[in-house]
Structure 1
Amino acid sequence: MADSPATITDVIFDFCGVLIDWDTRACLTGRFADDVVSAICAPDDPHGFFRYEDRMDAGEDFDSIYPDVVREQGEDIASIFRYYIEHYADALPRTLPGMTELLADLKRHGYGVWGLTNWSHETFHLAFEKFPRLEQLLDGTVVSGMEKMHKPNADIYNLTMERFGLTPERCVFFDDTAKNIVGANEVGIHGILFSGAIAARDSLASLGVRL
């Protein structure tokens, strides 16, 4: 007889695109030329904002990255990148609909609720400053920039399990980036690509989570 699936005890959430709306355009629109903002926010951004930000998420400091931005993009674009990082709170306009309610429901029913995010150690504090309810609801959060680890690499998932005393097959992880779901699955966590609070509830129910 096949083993029964492990009972889910804990749910882990990415931040930007899952718990929090991340909108670079909201930070830059009206302050810089529309065509430049559109290029920066495009999937194939020629100015590399998200590549530089990804380096910050992996643990590098802004001050060590900025000279590369100046050299590779020029002073004008580099100054916009500096503005973006210095006004990062403006790129976090709201929590995503239904997500604080989902976290509260999970907590009320006895599930562990955790965060796992690729985020710079220099700007992560803004998440909890803007949205203190998230800090109240989450039992703990692993931040890539603080650990100098980075999704989708296995080490950051394993660290999360070890730090919080979690068992992979008893955990669900929601992320809006497919490769991060693959990374979670590879270490035995139930990774689910996030597409909204209602779909997340349906996915949890299919795994036996009752809210």
Structure 2
Amino acid sequence: MTMNIQHIVFDIGKVLIHYDPNIPFSRIIPDEAERRWFFLNVCTHEWNLEQDRGREWAVAEAELIGKYPERAHQIRAFRQHWHEMVPHAYDESVSIMESLIEQGHDVTMLTNFAADTFRQARMLFPFLNKPRGVTVSGEVFLIKPDKAIYDLHARNFNLAPEKTLFIDDSAANVDGAREAGWSAVQFTDAARLRADLARYGFEV
């Protein structure tokens, strides 16, 4: 088990960088109950996921504004204030990734991310440019946990699935990687990640 892994693939959101839309929206919609309603009914997780799948923001905004014209300003604010939703990196996780790269291990990234916000993230967090490469869902119009995106990543980066280890905070995405023939661990914190990597023979 420990000697088989030759490729390590990192997710990004909630593994390497923090993400929380409540940060700007606690100011935009101060009332907690109203803000909860807004995220459950207007700018929902499912709505945002379609941008990760490649839908343009202008299309996404127009769709919602047609349903909730009185919320137009708040809907547009989601993209306008996106940079506030990613306030910091997880320094310990980044250190682990950088250590693996410095040791000469093959590291890539596979992320559910809108294409334009990922370009912005790369400017905000330059360490995202250190791995060998990345598959961004919004650029390839596929999304985790669809097996097709894991297969695409493996083909594009010449990864042997049985020699690949995936790290993601989402249990569903971890299961998707396993269905694609990869090994996978669910990220909870840096200490757990170090222990998981150690089981596969990586000391960081």
What interval of TM-score do these two structures reach, taking the shorter chain for normalisation?
A: over 0.9
What is the aligned partner in structure 2 of residue 127 from structure 1? 121
Corresponding residue to 1:165 among 133, 139, 158? 158
Deviation at 1:5, TM superposition (A): 6.4
2:75 maps to a residue whose letter is F
What is the aligned partner in structure 2 of residue 153 from structure 1? 146
Deviation at 1:187, TM superposition (A): 0.9
Distance 2:187 2:89 in 1: 14
1:182 maps to a residue whose letter is D
Whether the 8 Å CA contact 1:173–1:184 is kept in 2: the answer is yes
Deviation at 1:153, TM superposition (A): 0.6
Quick one: structure 1 residues 78 and 177, their matched pair in 2 at CA, closer, same or farther if it must change by over 3 Å?
A: farther
The sequence identity of aligned pairs, in percent, is 27
**Structure 1 unaligned residues grouped into runs of 5+:** none
Whether the 8 Å CA contact 1:8–1:209 is kept in 2: the answer is no
Deviation at 1:40, TM superposition (A): 4.0
What is the aligned partner in structure 2 of residue 67 from structure 1? 62
Superposition RMSD on alpha carbons, in Å? 1.7
TM-score by length of 2: 0.92
SS at match of 1:94: coil
What is the aligned partner in structure 1 of residue 6 from structure 2? 9
SS at match of 1:159: helix
Quick one: structure 1 residues 210 and 5, their matched pair in 2 at CA, closer, same or farther if it must change by over 3 Å?
A: closer
What is the aligned partner in structure 2 of residue 56 from structure 1? 51
Aligned residues: 203
- Comparing 4-13 and 50-59, the one that deviates more: 4-13
Whether the 8 Å CA contact 2:52–2:114 is kept in 1: the answer is yes
Deviation at 1:97, TM superposition (A): 3.5
Distance 2:103 2:84 in 1: 34
Quick one: structure 1 residues 202 and 40, their matched pair in 2 at CA, closer, same or farther if it must change by over 3 Å?
A: farther
TM-score by length of 1: 0.89
1:154 maps to a residue whose letter is K
2:84 is the alignment partner of 1:86 = no
The C-alpha deviation readout for 1:82-118, integer Å capped at 9, x for no partner, is 1111221111000114011101110122211111111
